[in-house]
Structure 1
Amino acid sequence: MTIHFHEEDLPDGVLEGTAPLAVDTETMGLVTHRDRLCVLQISDGSGDEHLVRFSPGSTYEAPNLTRLLADESRLKLYHFARFDLAAIQYYLGVMAAPVFCTKIASKLVRTYTDRHGLKNLTDELLGESMSKQQQSSDWGAEDINEAQREYAASDVRYLHRLKDALEVRLEREGRSEIAQACFDFLPARALLDIAGWEGRDIFSHNEGFYA
């Protein structure tokens, strides 16, 4: 298992193939328009993780990375895909779908708990322990230290195995089709977030307020 660190794009030939791609992002905060994309993590489940760091003022021209993310023949695995899809679309200009979201799958089958974080899932379903110590660190810093790199890599390290475990439960509970419908809608949900509807439920009967 190796963590590979790259600046601005993936090298030629990396992650070629047909395997699903586990994807995650690190940003300066949770407001997509304001808080720039700093690091994108990606793995094909073979044991290595690739981190792509974008510098302040980056043009986000990453042809090798964006080609992989835009490849509709390869499933993308996320934990809370809604946020990552919006960040990738806004900064890299591609919709990184089709999607499997472990957080949504967890909420559909682990209805006996309200703890659906990635650490909760890896603890229960895989018996693996993750550290979240670097979750709120400065991803825009000039130097991304080893602890940050390990944290970022761990966010994609377990997603392939979690998908397999969650698919078994979705099938067992008869919720595979509704899960897929949710996954299929996520690109539209991300576009709504980017367009300004991130805090509003357009399916609600309540008219809410005008803005």
Structure 2
Amino acid sequence: MTHIKLTLKGYLVTGLLIWLPLAVTWWVLDMIVGTLDQTLVLLPDALRPQSLFGFDVPGLGVVLSVLVLIGTGMVAANVLGQKLFDAWDALLVRIPVVKSIYSSVKQVSDTLFSDSGQSFKKAMLVRFPHQDMWTVAFQTGSLPESVARALADVGDDFIGVYVPTIPNPTSGYFVMVARKDTRELAMTVDEALKYAISMGMVAPAQPKAR
């Protein structure tokens, strides 16, 4: 009887390990597609799928969103489009409440997605939250000159790193640590982020020996 219970428990755990990632993936994709499908309200009533085909077409909002993004990028690539978006930025930064939100989001997006921005450079280990502990962190952009001058009297070379909180890596701590107190990891940023989010349960694959 005990053997049967252990076998059923093993089957249950195996089935859970198979279906749980699929269910979560389906839920996330369904949420994204459902959210993007709401962009169809931008179309005139006569051009909406309900009017053309008599039924809704799931995922059509994703196609529309991609086309809008591509079109916006094409417009912004020329001089006239750049001037229009500059004028739009100048208008938004004059609105009191919108200014703080828009400027913060724009700065983060420019840092992460723009070719001229500075996103995470490398994965490393840093002593955090105290000297007897190590955690995964990511080196960010170079320190501003004013910050580097303020730390010059310490005598060490400092770098800025981002320490993500787990399991939500979108929040975390930005700290400045001495370079000598860091250890660079032989991992890509994606591998280190996956390793941190999984709380050490998903280790990066070891490179095969040639």
TM over 0.5: no
- Which structure features the higher share of helix residues? 2
Tell me the TM-score normalised to structure 1 length.
0.22
Tell me the TM-score normalised to structure 2 length.
0.22
